[in-house]
Amino acid sequence: MDRLERMQVVVRWLIFRGIGTTQKEVAQSAGYNAAVFSAVLNGTTPLSSKFVERVCALDSQLRSEWVLSGRGEMLSGDDGFWSLPKPTGVPYYTELPVSAGDQEAPPYDDHHDYVFIPGVHAEAFFPVSGCSMSPTVNPGDLVGVVSVDRFERVDPECIYMIVTRDNERMIKHIQPTPEDDPELVLSSDNPRYAPFRRLKEDILKVFKVVYIGKNL
């Protein structure tokens, strides 16, 4: 496990221990806004040592050193025999619709379910709202996504989920632009929606849509 995965295990442990019944309650106990807390656990905001220390302080058994370095055990005095109920499947963010229109998506939230679709390798699933990507993707459809590390590697024929720093989430095509262009050109499949530009520095994360589940 990497550092972020160890932090996610710690949060599951705190819920298991009853520190909070949901991730949101754990965030509140640690003194964090739920949206900020979720963004850290999703990997969209860097995980700081201060964050680790504050969350681990919620249970005296937790060792922040384990999260930060991976050395030793998660719990003080632990011999490695504890276990946690691990969810199966891929996170499905039921309260986080991805915009395929002109509306702004709501903030990050921790309420999610888990979905398992055989043969589909995705990092997360999201429901879709809006019709700018119709008829390819329609409101109520389900999209599965994987992260993309560089803008230069995008394919204009593929569909991407773009997450901006102001917490907007949208699915679009990304059109080719020169590497030194400070902006990306985003386009839709619905001809009623014109292409538009967005500054690269305003984009927090890009995900490739690898699965579209139709709402029949």
Q: For residue range 6-36, what is the model confidence (pLDDT) as tens digits?
A: 999 899 889 888 888 888 899 999 999 989 9
Do 106 and 202 fall within a single domain? yes
Residue 171 structural domain = 90-213
Do 98 and 48 fall within a single domain? no
pTM comes to 0.58
Own/partner long-range contacts of 115-121 (Cβ < 8 Å, ≥24 apart): 115/89, 115/90, 115/91, 115/142, 116/88, 116/89, 116/90, 117/90, 117/144, 117/211, 117/213, 120/90, 120/144, 120/210, 120/211, 121/146, 121/210
DSSP 156-183: TTS-EEEEETT--EEEEEEE---TT-SE
Do 54 and 119 fall within a single domain? no
Q: For residue range 31-63, what is the model confidence (pLDDT) as tens digits?
A: 999 899 999 998 889 999 999 999 999 999 899
Task: Retrieve residue 133's tokens.
Answer: 């990507």
